[in-house]
Amino acid sequence: MACASIGSSATGAGDAPGPTSAEPAAAAIQEVLVTGEQSGPGMWHVSKDGHELWILGTLDPLPKHMTWRSRDADEVIARSQAVIAPPGVDVSVGFFKGLAALPALLGARTNRNGRTLRDELPETVYERWLALREAYLDDDEDLERLRPSVAAHELYKRAIERSGLVSGDTVWRIVEKLARRHKVPVTAMTIEIVLDDPRGTIRQLGKIPHDQDVACLASTLLTLESALQPMRRRATLWAIGDVEGLRTLPFTDQRATCLDAITAVPELRDRVLTLRDQLVDHWLSAAQLALATNQTSFAVLPIGQLLEADGWPARLRTRGYIVDEP
């Protein structure tokens, strides 16, 4: 799970204006995506007392028909003593507990009392949903029974696929293969969460306030209406290694609004905020340990973290490390 900002506000997002035209957003996509083998961006270099950590910034989504191949990354991994994985979260639920939670899970995915999205959404938001549903989703009436935040996830996932992009850990999977090839140990950065009461956790998700549930979908609609072209542009800039171009292109992430919806539930707020802090501390501790014990180490982080003024490498700088940007 990427560590998203919690500080954004969802107030009024359900009534956020969208494009006045109902023309599907897919028709407006003009950015020509790169294909074939691409080297990606240069790496950030962190050093202290003769020890070094090279950090590759990854991006999601990327061009579907691109293959990442970086000789520089391969060379660094080959002489590294450790590869630090990107941070993530693994939710562990026992098999039988998972089966028992299925009814509650289905209830958390759909609207209450058989209501549809037409019933749940403001008219203008519903019209925008229909336009994008026709552009990107199959004609499945079951979609209309999904709660707004779940519908947002399904729509975003399909729109990315149909826009020539691919979402997932494509670059990290290649890094893992290189680490195995060069016999370099991988330091896992996954925090495991064990759900002792999965049904209870799912019931808590059902308490997300209606206006913030709608705000999640409205934010996703706005992203797909106005930011697909910049997303495709950003994917191309990453592929060709144009870091300066990436700096000038704002990063929009509707997931922050959707995360706000989850943290509006008191029972989940503390868990999410604590998890965010744990991910930061976990990675910074691993990076400092690698810099203290290894001559050379390699790490992977979302490039947004590397470009932020207060991102995780910037925090290493405040602790006395030298950070050189590509």
pLDDT in tens, 57-103: 999 999 999 999 889 999 999 999 999 999 876 544 444 343 343 33
C-beta atoms surrounding 138 within 10 Å: 7
Q: Can you give the residue ranges of every domain in the chain?
A: 13-283+293-324
- pTM attached to this predicted model: 0.79
Mean pLDDT of the chain: 80
Residues in contact with 301: Cβ distance below 8 Å, sequence separation at least 6, in sequence order: 55, 56, 57, 58, 86, 87, 283, 312, 313
Q: What is the pLDDT of residue 44?
A: 97
Residues in contact with 63: Cβ distance below 8 Å, sequence separation at least 6, in sequence order: 33, 34, 35, 164, 165, 166, 232, 235, 236, 239
CA 8 to chain centre: 16
**pLDDT tens digits, residue range 278-304?**
888 999 999 999 999 999 999 999 998
Joined tokens for residue 243? 């870091």
Joined tokens for residue 93? 């639920």
Identify the bridge partners of residue 115 per DSSP, sorted by sequence position: none
What does R_g of the chain's alpha carbons equal in angstroms? 21
Distance CA 104, CA 108 (A): 6
Q: What is the pLDDT of residue 27?
A: 43
User: For residue 52, is pLDDT > 90?
Assistant: yes
Q: What is the pLDDT of residue 324?
A: 96
User: For residue 242, is pLDDT > 90?
Assistant: yes
Highest mean pLDDT pick, 1-10, 97-106, 141-150: 141-150
- Percent of the chain residues topping a pLDDT of 70: 72
Q: What is the pLDDT of residue 189?
A: 85
User: For residue 104, is pLDDT > 60?
Assistant: no
